[in-house]
Structure 1
Amino acid sequence: MQYKLGEFFSGPGGLACGAMQAKVRVPGKGEWSIKHSWANDRDEDTCHTYKRNICRNDNANSVICADVRSIDISENNPLFRDHPFDAFAFGFPCNDFSNVGEKNGLDGEYGALYSYGVKVLDKFKPKWFLAENVSGLTSANDGKAFSQIMNDMRECGYHLYPHLYKFEEYGVPQTRHRIIIIGIKDDIKKVYYPPSPKMYSDIDVSAEKALSGIPRTAPNNEPSFMTERVRERLSYIKPGENAFNAEELKKHPELQLKVKGATISQIYRRLVPDAPSYTVTGSGGGGTHIYHWKEPRALTNRERARLQTFPDDYVFMGNKEKVRRQIGMAVPVAGAKAIFEAVLKTMADVEYDHVDCNIDFKN
């Protein structure tokens, strides 16, 4: 059994890469898997990355670069007509739901974009879907945003299984927490459970392990430009410290940041070698690029991609800053793979070690 996956807000392909890696062998029934059918993102370089890695042998008409608000969600659209699908994924934009920022929720510029994924569910009725967003989704608009999103999805005819995943518990060398909603059609009598982190407890998720052994020829591995002033500043910051709490740096006022009220913990924060990285982000300026625990430098994009568990041969297209943004906005491949494998096992009636959903919602 092979499901055909369609995607909105596909990004550079973190979800798709994880989906394609997910395989479940069922005695007497063969292999259950997922393949790419179509995808959409509005950024041109991001779409080039997706095409280059996910469907390089395709003639590329299965990846549409466009604002989702401009897409005709109907059978008349060649994207849907020529690329049938029975599974769907959409990591709708998190800007207005993030705990960092103004938290405008559904009232923000991006808050209502989830509704375009709901339109796909309502129109095409895929057998199951995966929706992804930040942990702040449940608190946006005093919780009303999450309730509305869940009700809109449910009214399309799905049982819903929302869960807050801590990806460092699933083989990802990074403390990245995201809400994943799995939906299964009402007429399919299956119940989804999140996979138990115990199945991944033997994986070394330390930053040192994640960044070791990168081939010199790996793509997107160019070092970032570092001024001597930044290098000197980093020399006084110990692993785990940042530009505001480093005691040694306080002895050098000429190197301290002159930013009133700024205490963001990620600014010039250095990694701890025997612990997972802090969250890889796609936005922000100097001081937010993630910094090596020993060497006085920012990580390369390939090292950041390692923290997001992308394969070393995964090529990101665009200039260095655009690649950095793509990597930071992606879903970690290993985390996606773990969840998709649990979905496949659910659909194939294969038992697996699981936990209960940790977000209350009554179907």
Structure 2
Amino acid sequence: MNSIKYQTPTVATIKRQAKKSLPAFEVVSLFAGGGGSSTGYRMAGGKVLAINEFVEEARKTYKANWPDTHIFSDDVRQLTGQMILDQLVLKPGELDILDGSPPCSAFSTAGKRDKNWGKAKKYSDTSQENVEDLFFEYIRILQEIKPKVFVAENVAGLRIGTAKGYLNQILTKLKLSGYHVECRQLDARFLGVPQTRNRLIFVGVRNDLFMPSMAGRLHPKPFDYVVPLRSAIV
């Protein structure tokens, strides 16, 4: 295990690589933060056309690395799919991937969970109320944009206790939006990341594009090794 080499490319490296070929796919990311998921899409050969982020400090971080990416600074409740389509000059159904990681503190096993539902949550220098409902705002925009594929993420605690009611509502609404949907709990340490991080990953393929051969294959298989922390910091 100690011989495993762990290396992540710099932003400069990713930008140089992107200039060598046309993007394999195009993405819009909601709740994009400082650009973590966006970096993954870019490493995979994709192009991030635009993002939405509510927190100012996160927007500053994103813009410092990717100044050419359009940033919607609106609270997602004020953002519409048509606003995104108009900015990108796209029609419904043309976008490849809609990505999103709605704030998840309300469902985290590390917090008070349902005791804090409906209360304002602090994020950096801002706050939002009813963050447990933001996944449904993501679904609303999904229904308006109608991307070919969507990828969404949330904490594993969404599967536990009272929160399971939210999970069932989310899955039902995603499927009624016209997608074949699969949801699995993945642990980053079994996917080449030197960190134990369990998350629910939702992946959907629009029904008109879904093929039976895709069933059960929308998520990556775990690796047969774990990258030790030493490999990432030495």
- Band of TM-score, shorter chain: 0.7 to 0.9
| Larger Cα-atom Rg | 1
Alignment of 1:205 onto 2:205? no
CA distance in 2, matches of 1:149, 1:137: 10
Which string of whole-angstrom CA distances, capped at 9 and with x for unpartnered residues, describes residues 35-64 of structure 1?
1111011111211211222x33x1x5x112
Larger strand percent: 2
Which position in structure 1 is the counterpart of 2:167?
146
Alignment of 1:41 onto 2:66? no
SS of equivalent residue, structure 2 residue 105 = coil
* Aligned residue among 111, 124, 132 for 1:101: 111
Q: Please state how far the C-alpha of 1:100 moved relative to its aligned partner.
A: 1.6
Larger helix percent: 2
CA distance in 2, matches of 1:176, 1:183: 22
Q: Which runs of 5+ in 1 are unaligned?
A: 23-32, 213-363
Amino acid in the other structure paired with 1:139? I
Percent identity between the aligned chains? 29
After superposition, the Cα gap between the structure-2 partners of 1:136 and 1:171, relative to the gap in structure 1 and judged at 3 Å, is same
Following superposition of structure 1 onto structure 2, how do residues 285-296 of structure 1 map, counting pairs within 5 Å? none
* Aligned residue among 10, 15, 31 for 2:37: 15
Question: Considering only aligned residues, what root-mean-square deviation do their CA atoms show, in Å?
Answer: 2.0
Question: What is the count of residue pairs matched by the alignment?
Answer: 192
Higher relative contact order (CA 8 A, sep 6+): 1
Which position in structure 2 is the counterpart of 1:300?
none
Which string of whole-angstrom CA distances, capped at 9 and with x for unpartnered residues, describes residues 280-303 of structure 1?
xxxxxxxxxxxxxxxxxxxxxxxx
Which position in structure 2 is the counterpart of 1:263?
none
* Aligned residue among 75, 84, 87 for 1:82: 87
SS of equivalent residue, structure 1 residue 144 = helix
CA distance in 2, matches of 1:158, 1:105: 32
Amino acid in the other structure paired with 1:122? Q
Question: 1:97·1:103 contact (CA, 8 Å) conserved in 2?
Answer: yes
Q: Which runs of 5+ in 2 are unaligned?
A: 1-22, 119-129
Following superposition of structure 1 onto structure 2, how do residues 63-142 of structure 1 map, counting pairs within 5 Å? 63-71=71-79, 73-75=80-82, 77=83, 79-83=84-88, 84=90, 85-104=95-114, 107-108=117-118, 109-141=130-162
**TM-score, reference length from structure 2:** 0.76
CA distance in 2, matches of 1:193, 1:13: 23
Q: Please state how far the C-alpha of 1:209 moved relative to its aligned partner.
A: 1.9
CA distance in 2, matches of 1:89, 1:117: 9
Which position in structure 2 is the counterpart of 1:348?
none
Which position in structure 2 is the counterpart of 1:358?
none
SS of equivalent residue, structure 1 residue 12 = coil
Which position in structure 1 is the counterpart of 2:15?
none
